[in-house]
Structure 1
Amino acid sequence: MVFNINRLIRKIKIQNRLFLSFALLSLLPMLIIGIFSYHISSEAIKTKISTSSIQLMNQVSKNILNELIKLENDSVDIVFSDLVQQTLTGFNTMSEWERNVAQLKMQEMLAKRFSFFHSVSDVLVFTRSKEKVIAYGDIYFKFNLKSDYLNRLLDESTTNNGVPVWSIENQNNEERSWNTSYRTSNYGEAGILLSRSFKSFEGLPVGYMIMRIDEKYILDKFKDMNLGTGSDIFIVDGKGTVISSQNSRLKAAEAYPDPKLMDELKLNMENSTYSFNSTISDKRNLIAYTYIPRADWYVVSTIPFSYLDHESVKISVYIMVLGVVCFLLALLLSYYVSKSISNPLKRLVDSMNNVKLGNLVVQIDDPSSDELGKVTTNFNQMVRELHYLIDEVKMKERLKRFAELKSLQAQINPHFLSNSLNTVRWLANIQKADNISNLITSLIKLLHGCMGKGSELISIREEIEYVKNYLNIMAYRYYDKFKVHFEMEEEMIDCRILRFTLQPIVENCLLHGLEPMEGQGLIIIKGYRNDHELKITITDNGVGINDETLNGLLQQPSSNKTSGLSGIGIRNVDERIKLYFGEKFGVSIQSVPNLYTTIEITIPAMGGEGHFNYAESDYS
């Protein structure tokens, strides 16, 4: 998976990769910061408004509760007044005239109480048999509730056993009258009712009382409060009936249009949660409320999320604008940064293509000190060195061809000499001069080896033949001066060795080891196989080599200016072996002056096995 992604990315140009990377690295953090900022600011605003809304609802409910308590206290004063108690306890024995007098006295008494409290529009007193006495009210408006609504209200008051019952009524709960418009304009479309049953001083039930308060009186306690655009404050009772509301679309004494809200209010009330989110008319709102147990009322505030999110949206817009500006700046910066990388790389690739086509004089001008500048500098140096090496190779090839021509020319003389020697050998055979024929035969074989016909690698068998031919010639020069002893393992005779490896060393032993000594000398040539290596030692009992000469023998520069047959020195043999087989192979020398010198040759075992046994040979 990772490999496939990496391969896909590698298909995109570096400039485009850098451009997209800058874009993503600048866009993603801004999006995350923007969303996070919006979320945090929105939640903070909602939390603060929720807290303040709950506090405000608490204050509104306290104000309303104080007014309800005040009205309940007024109702207690009324029902326990001597006039009301005497009238209701003796109502059945009173004449019509007495009843009217008592009613007028009640109206006079309550007029003094409510003359400056215009929100109480009516006070009705009922006997146990539900006969009505108008204790307070406007003479132009007779407050008459429908019988079924009145009976339900009085029955609920009886059930509460003196505890006030708070409810709401409108024209739908009243009997039709000719002056309805008058009542509406002066006392409102809906009225809040305080109903209660009461007893006599002796503790016996004597009747009921209903006090009507204009709904606007309660509305005045919160109508001027503003929680924000689209917000609303209203009061509903436990049955879902609207008591009062800032919103004109919510009519008092009518059921709240969304019954789900009432269920949520009661559920959160059980959990002691006074703020929650809800959907009203397909719009999300923050709901805060308080509960007035005395009246079973909920004081509720609704704040739409559109208002709550307004500031957060503004912040988000500012962040978005700032983010777009930063994003554009990041894109501009990424363009220049990517160009600063891609352009040098493009020039470098173009120059490499030119070098690939054979243009080795190309140079890139890039004075920068960054990594690309260093790569360009190294590329320029590499091209210069490559141009120099190619020129050097061309020069060496010319020198090599010249040397090959010289070598070809130089072979003319050995060929002529070889042909001449063959003629001399033919004449020696005719004249029966066997020793001359033998000597010339060995010389011809050595000349053929020197001319370098065939492969550079030959068998050890052939190399020993060269050594024997050389020693055969030297035996005529140094009569009875030396003896040579061969000890070679049979399995190594057919292994491969460089041409003229042993002969130069034997020649050095003879010329520098045995010739200066007095008497006859001995050369021992041994060969054996050690795992994957061949060891060949050549030992003489000559004058030896002192330490100073020994230390510099293999360090002296190679030179072809020698007096030997092949023109190859010991150091040259060592270099040739290392060149062909590696640095671990080569020549080592041990010597004790006036005692012996041993030269050891180490080469890899290459070739087959054979059966070839060399016996001791004497050359004298």
Structure 2
Amino acid sequence: MTFNINQLIRKIKIQNRLLISFAVLSLLPMLIIGIFSYYISSDAIRTKISTASIQLMYQVSENIVNELIKLENDSVDIAFSDLVQQIMGGFNTMSEWEKNVAQIKIQEMLAKRFSFFHSVSDVLVYTRNKEKVIAYGDISFKFNLKSDYLNELFEETIIKNGVPVWTIQNQDNEELARNTSSRFSNYGEAGILLSRSFKSFEGLPIGYMIMRIDVKYIFNKFRDITLGAGSHIFIVNGKGTVISSQNPQHKVATPYPDDTLIDELKQNRVTETYSFNTTIAGKRHLIAYTYIPRADWYVVSTIPFSYLDHESVKISFYILVLGISCFVLALLLSYYVSKSISSPLKCLIDSMNNVKLGNLVVQIDDRSSDELGKVTTNFNQMVSELQYLIDEVKMKEKLKRLAELKSLQAQINPHFLSNSLNTVRWLANVQKANNISNLITSLISLLHGCMGKGSELISIREEIEYVKNYLNIMAYRYYDKFMVHFEIEEDILDCHILKFALQPIVENCLLHGIEPMEGQGLIIIKGYRVQNELKITITDNGVGMDEHTLNSLLQQTTTINQSRFSGIGIRNVDERIKLYFGEKFGLSIHCVPNLFTTVEITIPTAGGEDDVKDAEGAHS
């Protein structure tokens, strides 16, 4: 089966194969990712909004419950106040004048309680025989409930036996009077009622109480809360009557238009499921609610799926448009690219592999004028140039090493040698040859170092000896003009440095620093290790240099100064160090005129013969 598929595929051109496989492999992941992203994002958004909605409904219900408890406590305080208990106990035996006086006293008492609490519009107290006492309210716009509705409230409060009953009434439950319209404009067409029966201190039933609360008082607890476009928060009781709602289509004190939702609320309350999906007016909604047992109220939020899925649909649309655009573009690019790349690219890769193996005579025969053709031409030129440069570098390096060796072997300045020999002769004549041996010994050591053959790297110990021999000679020339102090760490003495790297710097200290100064000078030579690097500093307290002289010092040419011992400038030392050890090593100079001059040499640690051989091998 595999053989047949391979044979079938091999019958299709490479370009077509690439296009078909690319189309399949790019389209399928795009579809899978798009669908997966849509469902995952939708589910995540719904879950988060559902959780947030439940928490928000819980907070709203907590706020409402706190207010209901305050109102219930107020009703208890009123019912069991001494004044109300006294009046209700003897109301049947009072005259009309006494009843009016009692009513005024109750009104005065409750006016102090509710005058600043505008949500309570009316408080009615009824005797056991259902005689009404207006305990609080506007006398000009009396609150009168219809007898049938009032009797239903009394019967329900009797059944509850003192437990508050929360209901809602509207204008259909009130007795209409001349000033009814004015009352509705001032206190609203509907009101929330707290009804309860109460007893005497002896435990005998003595009356009923009805408190009317403005519906806006409860509505204000969630009026400004929004859960998204098209969402609403409302409160219904267990009978399906709307208590309060953000939706103007849900009229307060009327049945909620969708009985199915009320039934689902009751069913989910039994299973303690506080979030579910349902259909309202033909549209899917997410429902989140909480239940207030003391009032038999449901605080409900409805969020349409159109809002929940809005972001997911937008994301999916963007993914689809972007995916299709990229897919079409990729197909077009792959069509043109696949046909022209594979053959010349393979040829170029094969040639590169040959170059990697060291075959620098590779040439590609490709006369195309496109980028790959230019790359091939440049590759051919690069290989030829690389071969030429390698040969040239080898030749120049060989010549440079030979020139440096000859320079070291012939770096004694004849003028200096003449002066030194004259000094020897003068000392022989004056001192009868007592100090000639010391001077000549130092001179011979320097001559051997300059003209000797072998490695250009020597130990720091040997380099210090060359410096001491040079200073011994200079001590006779500059009698008591300078002192030298060495501070070289013992563990770096066997590390290696370029031959005659320190002598030119010490000579520079004498000529430019100490010789022009008045009095005796001091040279301090320190050597120490810093991690994998060696630091050697040469400091003098001479006259120093200005900025121009300091800059020109490192820019000296290799022209030999006839007044110097070796003719090797400080710049030459810096270039030799960089040549051997790399650009990050070399010299740095710090100078404060008439105070000090410090030259710091930085080289890598090279402690053994293997390191010396490696350094020399790298420049052979």
Deviation at 1:6, TM superposition (A): 10
Aligned residue in 2 for 1:197? 197
Q: Which amino acid aligns with 2:76?
A: V
User: For 1:202 and 1:74, how far apart are their aligned partners in 2?
Assistant: 21
- The corresponding residue for 1:113 is 113
Cα deviation 1:527-571 (Å, max 9, x = unaligned) = xxxxxxxxxxxxxxxxxxxxxxxxxxxxxxxxxxxxxxxxxxxxx
Matched, 1:66 2:66: yes
Name 1:585's counterpart in structure 2.
none
2:116 is paired with a residue whose SS is coil
Q: Secondary structure of the equivalent of 1:107?
A: helix
Residue matched to 1:331: 331
Q: Distance in 2 between matches of 1:313 and 1:307?
A: 10
Q: Please give the alpha-carbon distance, in whole angstroms, between the structure 2 residues aligned to 1:235 and 1:6.
A: 70
Q: Secondary structure at the match of 2:177?
A: coil
Q: Percent same amino acid among aligned pairs? A: 79
Partners in 2 of 1:132 and 1:108 — Cα distance?
17
The amino acid of 1:298's aligned partner reads: Y
Equivalent in the alignment of 1:85: 85
Residues 307-346 of structure 1, C-alpha deviation per residue, up to 9 Å, x if partnerless?
Answer: 11222222222212321222122211342366469999xx
Q: Does the aligned pair in 2 maintain the 1:89–1:206 contact within 8 Å?
A: yes
Shift of 1:13: 7.8
Q: Following superposition, which runs of at least 4 residues in structure 1 exceed 6 angstroms of deviation?
A: 1-14, 341-344, 365-368
Partner of 1:309: 309
Q: Secondary structure at the match of 2:195?
A: strand
Q: 1:37 to 1:103 in 2, by over 3 A?
A: same
| Local SS of the residue matching 2:139 | coil
Residue deviations 1:494-551 (CA, integer Å, cap 9, x gap): xxxxxxxxxxxxxxxxxxxxxxxxxxxxxxxxxxxxxxxxxxxxxxxxxxxxxxxxxx
Quickly say closer, same or farther: Cα 1:88–1:17, change in 2 above 3 A: same
Instruction: Kindly indicate whether the alpha-carbon contact (under 8 Å) linking 1:15 and 1:342 is maintained by their aligned counterparts in 2.
Output: no
Change (3 A) 1:279 1:3: farther
Deviation of 1:16 (Å): 5.4
Rounded Cα–Cα distance in structure 1 between residues aligned with 2:229 and 2:40:
22
Following superposition, the deviation at residue 165 of structure 1 comes to: 0.3
1:231, 1:264 → 2: CA distance? Answer: 18
Contact 1:122–1:211 (CA under 8 A) maintained in structure 2: yes
Other-structure match for 1:157: 157
- State the alpha-carbon separation in 2 of the partners of residues 232 and 8 from structure 1: 63
Q: Secondary structure at the match of 2:141?
A: coil
Pair 1:254-2:257 in alignment: no
Alignment of 1:190-589 (within 5 A): 190-336=190-336, 339=339
Say which SS state the counterpart of residue 300 (structure 2) adopts: strand
Structure 1 residue 61: deviation in Å? Answer: 0.7
The letter of the residue matching 1:206 is I
Residue 249 of structure 1 aligns to which amino acid in structure 2?
A: Q
Output the CA distance in 2 between the equivalents of 1:304 and 1:329: 38
Q: Is the CA contact (8 Å cut-off) linking 1:14 and 1:342 kept in structure 2?
A: no
User: How high is the TM-score relative to the length of structure 2?
Assistant: 0.53
* Mean CA deviation greater in 309-318 or 266-275: 309-318
1:174 deviation in Å? 1.0
Pair 1:67–1:9, CA change in 2 (3 A): same
**In the superposition, relative to structure 1, how do residues 14 and 85 fare at CA in structure 2: closer, same or farther (>3 Å)?**
same
Find the residue that maps to 1:59 and give its secondary structure.
Answer: helix
Q: Distance between the aligned counterparts of 1:152 and 1:285, measured in 2? A: 36
Deviation at 1:190, TM superposition (A): 1.2
Alignment-mate amino acid for residue 120 of structure 1: V
Change in Cα spacing, 1:11 to 1:261, as seen in structure 2 (3 Å) is farther
Shift of 1:298: 0.8
Q: Taking structure 1 as reference, are residues 195 and 338 closer, same or farther at Cα in structure 2, changes over 3 Å only?
A: same
Name stretches of at least 5 consecutive residues in structure 2 with no aligned partner.
Answer: 345-364, 369-620
Mark the CA change 1:180 to 1:9 in structure 2 (over 3 Å): closer, same or farther.
farther
Corresponding position of 1:27:
27
In the alignment, which residue of structure 2 is the partner of 1:167?
167
Structure 1 vs Structure 2 CA RMSD? 2.8
Describe the superposition over 1:579-602 as per-residue Cα deviations: whole angstroms up to 9, x where unpaired. xxxxxxxxxxxxxxxxxxxxxxxx
Distance 1:343 1:211, change over 3 A: same
Checking the alignment, whether the CA contact within 8 Å between 1:130 and 1:207 is kept in structure 2 is: yes
CA separation of 1:10 and 1:117: change in aligned 2, threshold 3 A: same
Amino acid at match of 1:224: D
Are residues 7 and 299 of structure 1, via their aligned partners in 2, closer, same or farther at CA, if it must alter by over 3 Å? farther
From the superposition, tell whether residues 84 and 324 of structure 1 become closer, same or farther in structure 2 (CA, over 3 Å): same
Q: Amino acid of the residue matched to residue 164 of structure 2? A: P
Matched-pair contact (CA < 8 Å) for 1:191–1:213: yes
Residue 25 of structure 1: CA displacement? Answer: 2.2
Map of 2:430 onto structure 1: none
| Structure showing greater Rg | 1
Counterpart for residue 540 of structure 1: none
2:329 is paired with a residue whose SS is helix
Residue 289 of structure 1, CA deviation: 0.9
Letter in 2 for 1:26: S
| TM superposition shift of 1:20 | 3.9
TM-score by length of 1: 0.53
Structure 1 CA distance for aligned equivalents of residues 188 and 99 of structure 2: 30
Letter paired with 1:327: F
Cα distance, 1:10 vs. partner?
Answer: 9.9
Contact persistence 1:26–1:330 (CA under 8 A): no
What is the CA–CA distance in structure 2 between the aligned matches of 1:60 and 1:131, rounded to whole Å?
38
Q: Which residue identity is paired with 1:166?
A: W
- Where 2:273 maps in the other structure, the secondary structure is coil
Amino acid at match of 1:39: Y
Distance 1:111 1:20, change over 3 A: same
Partner in structure 1 of residue 124 of structure 2? 124
SS of 2:233 mapped into structure 1: strand
- Report which stretch shifted further, 245-254 or 316-325: 316-325
2-structure distance, mates of 1:90, 1:9:
108
**Take 1:122 and 1:225, find their aligned partners in 2: how far apart are those partners?**
29
Q: Is the 8 A contact 1:15 1:341 kept in 2?
A: no
Q: What letter is aligned with 1:252?
A: V
Compared CA separation, residues 87 and 284, structure 1 to 2 (3 A): same
Q: Does the residue aligned with 1:240 lie in a helix, a strand or coil? A: coil
Q: What is the CA–CA distance in structure 1 between the aligned matches of 2:293 and 2:3, rounded to whole Å?
A: 70
Partner amino acid, structure 2, of 1:82: D
How is 1:35-74 mapped onto 2 (pairs within 5 angstroms)? 35-74=35-74
Q: Which residue of 2 aligns with 1:144?
A: 144
After superposition, the Cα gap between the structure-2 partners of 1:204 and 1:2, relative to the gap in structure 1 and judged at 3 Å, is: farther
Count how many residue pairs are aligned between Structure 1 and Structure 2. Answer: 348
1-structure distance, mates of 2:321, 2:292: 48
Q: Secondary structure at 2:212's aligned position in 1?
A: strand
Summarize deviations over 1:327-366 as a string: whole Å, max 9, x none: 122211342366469999xxxxxxxxxxxxxxxxxxxx99
Structure 1, unaligned runs of 5 or more: 345-364, 369-620
Cα deviation 1:93-121 (Å, max 9, x = unaligned): 11111111111111111111100011100
Q: CA deviation at 1:3?
A: 12
Task: Note the C-alpha offset of 1:180.
Answer: 2.5
- Partners of 2:33 and 2:26 lie apart in 1 by 11
Task: Give the direction of change, closer, same or farther, for the CA distance of 1:339–1:143 in structure 2 (3 Å limit).
Answer: same
Cα deviations across residues 203-247 of structure 1 (Å, max 9, x unaligned)?
A: 011111000000000001110111111111111111111110111
Give the Cα separation in 1 of the matches to 2:174 and 2:132: 15
Aligned equivalents of 1:228 and 1:29: distance in 2?
33
Distance 1:190 1:16 in 2: 77
Q: Secondary structure at the match of 1:90?
A: helix
Report how far residue 12 of structure 1 moved.
Answer: 8.3
Q: Secondary structure at the match of 1:166?
A: strand
Output the CA distance in 2 between the equivalents of 1:148 and 1:182.
Answer: 24
